[in-house]
Structure 1
Amino acid sequence: MPRYFFNVFYGRTTTDHVGEEFPDQDATWKEATVLAGQILQGLHGDLVPGREWRVEVTDEFGNRLFILRIHAEVP
């Protein structure tokens, strides 16, 4: 089963060195959206305007497959 890695960027980089196995990219996408929601919830409202927050999903060869990006701003 392929292994996928979920790297988080928000002020600093949190690199996933372990990864997780999923049967396909659809299952990986679903996990990425769940993970992103959980991490954002864990910020407890501390997302800072003007800074980008993102999760990048890569495959076992380092190819970027998905990027979930949140950019908070004050109009």
Structure 2
Amino acid sequence: MPRYFFDVQDGKSFPDYDGCELPDLDAARIEAVRLLGGMLRDEAETFWDGDDWRMSVCGVDRMELFSIRFMASMAPATHDMAPPTSPMPGAFAGTFGTSRMSTS
């Protein structure tokens, strides 16, 4: 089975050094959405801290096959409000390894 790597950036880089074996590109697309869904759930408090989130999915040769981006923007009516704060810079700090879902 091919190995896919799910690298994440949110202002900081979180490379996937291990990757995971999946049957095909369609399975990698599904896994990418599942991983990002889990990260959004687990890191909801830090999502608004600034930088867009980007997941690049690469093959074993580390060439990008596709990417998914998430971003948030405040509506003009909220510009006078104070921005949210977070105790931790980088939305994925320390969580990427625990977010991978089982593919078996």
TM-score, scaled to structure 2: 0.67
- Please tell me the residue identity of whatever aligns with 1:74: M
Q: In the alignment, is residue 18 of structure 1 matched against residue 50 of structure 2?
A: no
Q: In the alignment, is residue 45 of structure 1 matched against residue 45 of structure 2?
A: yes
CA distance in structure 2 between the aligned counterparts of 1:17 and 1:61, rounded to whole angstroms? 12
Deviation by residue 1:28-61 (Cα, 9 ceiling, x = unmatched): 1000000010011111332126521111100001
Q: What fraction of aligned residue pairs are identical, expressed as a percent?
A: 37
- Any runs of at least 4 consecutive aligned residues in structure 1 with deviations exceeding 4 A, and if so which? none
CA distance in structure 1 between the aligned counterparts of 2:50 and 2:43, rounded to whole angstroms? 16
When you count strand as a share of all residues, which structure comes out higher? Answer: 1
CA distance in structure 1 between the aligned counterparts of 2:35 and 2:50, rounded to whole angstroms? 22
Change (3 A) 1:68 1:32: same
CA distance in structure 1 between the aligned counterparts of 2:2 and 2:73, rounded to whole angstroms? 37
SS in 1 for 2:48: coil
1:60 alignment counterpart: 60
CA RMSD of aligned residues (A): 1.3
TM-score, scaled to structure 1: 0.90
- Please tell me the residue identity of whatever aligns with 1:33: V
Q: Mind listing any 5+ residue stretches in structure 2 that lack a counterpart?
A: 76-104
